[in-house]
Amino acid sequence: MTDIEHNADTGLQVVDPHDDHDEQFSFVGRTFPVNVYTGVFIVLGITTLIEVVISQIFERSGLLIFIMLVLATFKAGLVVWFYMHLNKDNRVFLACLLIPVILVVLAVMFLSIVPAGGYS
């Protein structure tokens, strides 16, 4: 979230919420010699490769679909969190994303329990 801090000279001072130019990428407790954006990009690429390999090797099953959905959600979360700056921006923006998603998920769950041939 963008903050406005009190300052002795001007009374107010704008604080840049994205002052992460030199922030290094940390993942599973380790810090890597790349900036956070490049690190996220590498993780996205590796996760995509894992997804494709898994989908081509294993037969479709409930477990496989669950794993794929978790990986896709993880990737989407990384983009939203780091590239769209929701880790530092106003959390109201997160609600803009989540509320419609939750509504549609509920609608799909409702649709999927309606029998294809109707209630007879």
Partner 1 sequence: MSQEVSIETPPVKDATPAATHREAHGAAHAVSHAENLKFAVWLFLASEVVVFATMIGVFIVFRIRDPQVVLAVHHNTNILLVTLNTFLLLTSSWAMVMGLREIRQNNPQGLIRWFGLMCLLGLVFVGLQYVEYQQLAKEGIALFNQGNEFDGFGARFYAPTAFHGVHVIIGVLWGLYVINNTRKGKYDNKNYVGVEVFGLYWHFVDVVWVILFTMLYLV
Q: Are 25 and 40 in contact (CB under 8 A)?
A: yes
Residue 32 or 37 having the CB closest to partner 1: 37
Give the amino acid at 3: D
CB of 4 to partner 1, least distance (A): 6
CB of 20 to partner 1, least distance (A): 8
Sign of the alpha-carbon torsion through 55, 58, 59, 61: negative
Residue 32 or 108 having the CB closest to partner 1: 108
Q: Using CA atoms, how far apart are residues 16 and 1, in angstroms rounded to an integer?
A: 9
Total length of the chain? 120
Surface-to-core class of residue 107, CB atoms within 10 Å of its CB (0-12 exposed, 13-18 middle, 19+ buried): exposed
CB of 5 to partner 1, least distance (A): 10
Catalog residues that contact partner 1 under the rule CB under 8 A: 2, 4, 9-14, 16, 18-19, 21, 35, 37-38, 40-41, 44-45, 48, 51-52, 55-56, 60, 64-65, 68-69, 71-72, 75-76, 79-80, 82-84, 89-90, 92-93, 96-97, 99-101, 103-105, 107-108, 111-112, 116
